Structure 1
Amino acid sequence: MPFSKLPLSSDVLSALPEDITSPKEIQTLAIPVIMSNKDLLALAQTGSGKTLAYGLALIERAKANRLATQAVILAPTRELAAQINTAISSISHQVDINTICLSGGIEKKTQIDELANKPEIVVATPGRLLELIREGSIELSDIHTVILDEVDRLLDMGFWGDIQTILERLPAQRQTAMFSATLHKDLENKVNKLLNQPTRVQAHASNSIVEQIEESLYLVNKGSKTNVLIRQIKQNDWQQVLVFIGAKDNADSLTKKLNKANISTAALHGNKSQIEREETLTQFKQKKVKVLIATDLLARGIHIDHLPIVINFELPPSPEVYVHRIGRTARAGKQGSAISLVCHAESDYLNAIRQFTRRELPLSQLEDFPVTDQPSTGESKRAPRDKKANRRTINKKSVKQFQGKKKP
Structure 2
Amino acid sequence: MAFSELNLSTELVNAIPNSFASETQIQSLAIPAIVTQRDVLALAQTGSGKTLAYGLGIIERVHATGLQQALVLVPTRELAKQVVDALQPIAAELGHSITVICGGEDVEQQVQRLGDCPEIIVATPGRLLDMIRKQLIDTKRIDMLVLDEVDRLLDMGFWPDVQCIINDLVNRQQTLMFSATLPETLQAKVTKFLNNPLKVTANKINSVVEHIEEKLYLVNKGSKTNVLIKQISEQKWPQVLVFIGARDNADALCKKLNKAGIECEALHGNKDQAQREQVLLAFKQGKVKVLIATDVLARGIHVDALPVVINYELPSDPSVYVHRVGRTARAGKAGLALSLVCHGETAHLEAIRQLTKRALELNQLQEFPVTDKPSTGENKRPKRDKQANRRTNQKTRASQFKGKK
* TM-score (ref. length: structure 1): 0.96
1:147-162 to structure 2, matched below 5 A, reads 147-162=146-161
Is the contact made by 1:67 and 1:142 (CA closer than 8 Å) also made in structure 2?
Answer: no
The 5 A counterparts of 1:6-405 are 6-66=6-66, 68=68, 70-384=69-383, 387-388=384-385, 391-396=387-392, 397-398=394-395, 402-405=401-404
Aligned-partner Cα distance in 2 for 1:33–1:65: 14
Which stretches in structure 1 are left out of the alignment for 5+ residues?
Answer: none
SS class of match (1:282): helix
Q: Do 1:73 and 1:147's aligned partners in 2 also have CA atoms closer than 8 Å?
A: yes
- 1:182 deviates by 0.3
Whether contact under 8 Å (2:267, 2:279) holds in the other structure is yes
**Distance in 2 of aligned mates of 1:353 and 1:71:** 35
**In the TM superposition, what whole-angstrom CA distance separates every residue of 1:266-306 from its partner, at most 9, and x where no partner exists?**
00000000000000001111121111000000000000000
Query: Cα offset for 1:4?
Result: 2.2
Q: Are residues 1:5 and 2:5 paired?
A: yes
Kindly state the Cα deviation for residue 131 of structure 1 after the two structures are TM-superposed.
1.7
Closer/same/farther in 2, CA of residues 404 and 361 from structure 1, 3 Å limit:
same
Q: Per-residue deviation at 1:393?
A: 2.6
- Residue type of the partner of 1:98? S
More displaced 10-residue stretch of structure 1: 35-44 or 268-277: 35-44
Q: Deviation per CA, 1:336-377, whole angstroms, max 9, x where unpaired?
A: 000000000001000000001010000000111110111111
**What is the Cα deviation at residue 90 of structure 1?**
1.6
- Residue 382 (structure 1) shift: 3.4
Kindly indicate whether the alpha-carbon contact (under 8 Å) linking 1:218 and 1:341 is maintained by their aligned counterparts in 2: yes
Amino acid across the alignment from 2:341: V
Q: Is the 8 A contact 2:141 2:171 kept in 1?
A: no
Contact kept in structure 1, 2:244 and 2:293, CA below 8 Å: yes
Equivalent position SS for 1:141: helix
Structure 2, unmatched stretches of 5+, are: none
Structure 1 Cα separation of the partners of residues 317 and 7 of structure 2: 38
Give the paired residue count: 402
> What letter matches 1:306 in structure 2?
A
Tell me how far apart the structure 2 counterparts of residues 91 and 67 of structure 1 sit (CA, whole Å).
Answer: 17
What is the distance in 1 between the residues matched to 2:172 and 2:301?
A: 32
Instruction: Look up the SS of the partner of 1:193 in the other structure.
Output: helix
Same amino acid, percent of matched pairs: 58
Work out the CA distance in 2 between the residues paired with 1:206 and 1:286: 32
**Per-residue deviation at 1:115?**
1.1
**Equivalent residue letter for 2:255:** K
Is contact 2:143-2:171 (8 Å) kept?
no
1-structure distance, mates of 2:378, 2:133: 54
AA in 2 matched with 1:8: L
User: In the aligned structure 2, how far is the partner of 1:375 from the partner of 1:141?
Assistant: 58
The alignment's C-alpha RMSD in Å is 1.4
Q: For the residues of structure 1 that align with 2:25 and 2:221, how far apart are their CA atoms?
A: 41
TM superposition shift of 1:137: 2.1
Deviation at 1:194, TM superposition (A): 1.6
Contact 2:142–2:171 at 8 Å: present in 1 too? no
Q: Distance in 2 between matches of 1:313 and 1:215?
A: 14
